[in-house]
Structure 1
C-alpha cells in the first residue's frame, strides 16, 4: 500500500485539524491514535498474512513523512511504536526471530513504546544507569528512571533496558525486556510541559523494581559497542524514522511558506505579490533546494536497510548522518519559511509558530550533533589517538 492509501487526504486533514488544539492544551492525541489504529497504520510492519501492511523501512518512512506534514508531534510519538515493530521486522529479515512476538502482538492491537532514554546517559544503548538485578526464576528487577517515554498515556507494552553490574565477571551486562501496562512497579510522572512536540506526551517513567519475567527478556549484551544485530536494527529504525518525521515537518513548512508568500502583498509596490520579490524568491528557492537534497537520502538509506546492503563500518555514519541532516535541514527550512511569511507567523497559534517550536526537538534526539560527527569522523579517520 502507498502512503496515500494508508493516509488518505481526508484522514490527513482531520489529523491536521486537531494538531493545534493538542498543542495548545498540552493534550495527548487520543483521537489521532484511534483513527490511525482503525486504519491499520500501527501495523505497517506486520506481515500481510497477519493482517498488516507488510511494509519495509523505506515505505514506512514515507508514511511517517506524510503523517508529519499534518501533525509532527503525532508522527513523532507513533514513531516509538513503529521503531519496535520495525526492529522486529529488520531482525526477521536477517534471520533473527527473537522479537517475533512484537509483530504478533502488534497484529492484535498492542501499542509499543520505547523506554530506553535516560538523563545523563550519553552512552545511549551501550550502557545504562538503570539497575537490572537478576531474580531466581530468570527474570530481572529494574530500578531507574526513563525519560522521553512517548505514548505515555497509551502504550500497552514498554521496552526497557538496564545493567546487571555483577554479570560477566563484574564487567556488567545490558538486559533488554518488555513490561506490560498491567505490570506493577512503575510510575508515569505528569511532567510533560515542553516548548514543542507537546502532543507526544513523552513523560518520565520511573521504574521502582519493576519485574520483567524470563519469557519477556529478549537480549543480554556486553556493556559497550558491539555488533549484535539488535543494535543495528534499533539504530536503523530509530534514526531513519526520526529523519522521516523531520523531513515531513520541513516539507510542510515549505508548503505553508509558499502559500503565505503568494497571499502577501506589498503596500510599497502597489499591492504586488511578494512572490515577485527577488529576495523572497531566493529564500524560497534555498528552502526548496535544501529539501530536494534530503528526500533522496531518506529513500536511499532506508532502501538499503530493506535490501540487506552491506555498508560495513559505514552503516552507522550513514544512519546518524541522515538523522542530523533531516533535523538540521528541517530547522533551516522552517526558519526560511518564517522569514518569508512575515510577522503573522510569530503569533501564538499560527502553524509556522508551532512548527518552529516542534522542529527544535530534533537537536535532542539521539544521535545528537556532537555524537554524530564523532561517529562519522571515526569511520573515515579512525579513533582519536591517546
Structure 2
C-alpha cells in the first residue's frame, strides 16, 4: 500500500474536526490534546521518518504542503506540531546526506516519541549562534544543562526536548553543545505560564532546566559559537523557517477564504448588492490574493532545493530568513484586508477571522526577525561590514 499524501492524510473530514475544536482550545487556553491524538493516529508525526524506519517517508516539500493545509483549519495545532516536525526534518536532512548522528530521532519518532524545540531564551538574539544556558560536560560524556527555555511548544505532550547550551569550562571552550533530554528527567520543570492573545493552544510554556542530563549518545554537536557551516545548523535553520512559514501561509489562505465567503454573504444596505460587487471589497480581496499567490511556490521551491541538495552558497541563509519574513508580512497583510472586508463582527470573541487576526501576530516573534533577516541578506549581497 502506498503512503498517504498530505491531501489524503489531512482529509476534509479530519480538518473540519480540527477546525471545530480550535475555537474552544482558544477560549479555554487549552492544549490541542485531541488534535494531537488524531494526527498521531494517522501517522502525521512520522511524516518525515523514512519508510524503512517505520514512517511515511515524506519529503520536505510534502510537509510544507501539509502544514499549509493543517494551518488552514487549526493554526495553533499546526504551529505546535511544527516543532516536532522540525527535529524530525533535521534528522531526515542529515540522514539523506549520509549523517546518521540523529537517526535515533527518526527511530524514536517512529515509536511514538514527541520532540520539542528548546532553543529560544529570553533576550538571546543570537539564537542558534549563542546561549545563556550553561552546558556542563560530565566525565561519562553526558552533559548537564542549566537555564530557561521559552516558547517551548508542545509543553504538555513532549517526551524529548532538543536543547543547546554554552560550555565555558572544557579545554576547547567556548563551545555550543546540542543535546536531547527526556521528559522524565527530575531536573526538568515546565511552568504553567502560557496565557497569550494568540496561538494559545500551542501551550508554549517556559521550561526550566536545573542540571537536566543529555546522555552521551544524545549529545549531538559541539560547535564554535557564532555562524557555523555545520550541516546540522543549516538543517535546523532550513526546516524551522520553511515549516514555520508554511503555517502562516496556510493561516492567510484561510483568512482569504473567509473574506470571500463574507463578501458574498453580506448585502449592502446602500446598494442592495452583495459586498462581492463592491469595488473596495473587490480591490482588497484581489490585492490579498495577489500577494498570497506568490508565497506557496517560493516555499515549495526552497523545500525542494533543500531536499535535492541544491547549492545556493552564501545565499542560503538569506533565502531562508527572507522567505520567513516575507511570508509573515504577507500573512499579516492578507488577514488585515480580510478583516476590512468582513467588518466589525471579526472584533468579537469567538469569530474565526478575529482569532486568525490574533494568531498571525505571533509570526513576528519567531526567528528570523526582520532586522536579522535584512542583516543576513545585506551580508550575502554586500559582504560583512568591516571593522
TM-score (norm 2): 0.98
> Post-superposition shift, 1:134?
1.3
> Post-superposition shift, 1:99?
0.1
Distance in 1, matches of 2:28 and 2:257, equals 25
Distance in 1, matches of 2:354 and 2:281, equals 19
Determine the structure 1 residue equivalent to 2:82.
79
Determine the structure 2 residue equivalent to 1:32.
35
- Which residue of the other structure, out of 241, 247, 250, is the alignment partner of 1:248? 250
- Which residue of the other structure, out of 135, 138, 141, is the alignment partner of 2:138? 135
Deviations 1:307-358 (A, max 9, x none): 1101010100110111111111000000000000011111111011100000
Alignment of 1:1-386 (within 5 A): 1-170=4-173, 172-269=174-271, 271-386=272-387
Distance in 1, matches of 2:31 and 2:61, equals 27
> Post-superposition shift, 1:213?
1.7
Deviations 1:121-162 (A, max 9, x none): 111111110001111111111100000000000001111110
Distance in 1, matches of 2:343 and 2:184, equals 50
Distance in 2, matches of 1:277 and 1:261, equals 9
Q: Secondary structure at the match of 2:107?
A: helix
Distance in 2, matches of 1:344 and 1:3, equals 33
Task: Decide whether aligned partners of structure 1 residues 224 and 168 sit closer, same or farther in structure 2, where only a CA change above 3 A counts.
Answer: farther
More displaced, 47-56 or 310-319?
47-56
Distance in 2, matches of 1:134 and 1:42, equals 31
Q: Secondary structure at the match of 1:272?
A: coil
Distance in 2, matches of 1:94 and 1:167, equals 30
> Post-superposition shift, 1:168?
4.8
Aligned residues: CA RMSD: 0.9
Q: 5+ unaligned residues in a row in structure 2: which ranges?
A: none
Distance in 1, matches of 2:141 and 2:386, equals 42
> Post-superposition shift, 1:169?
4.4
> Post-superposition shift, 1:166?
2.4
> Post-superposition shift, 1:384?
1.7
Distance in 2, matches of 1:140 and 1:46, equals 27
Distance in 1, matches of 2:171 and 2:336, equals 50
Deviations 1:48-82 (A, max 9, x none): 12331101111111100100000000000000000
Q: Secondary structure at the match of 1:184?
A: coil
Distance in 1, matches of 2:344 and 2:58, equals 42
Deviations 1:239-286 (A, max 9, x none): 0000100000000000001001100100111x2101111111000000
Q: 5+ unaligned residues in a row in structure 1: which ranges?
A: none
Distance in 1, matches of 2:41 and 2:379, equals 45
> Post-superposition shift, 1:385?
2.6
Distance in 1, matches of 2:359 and 2:140, equals 44
Q: Give the paired residue count.
A: 384
TM-score (norm 1): 0.98
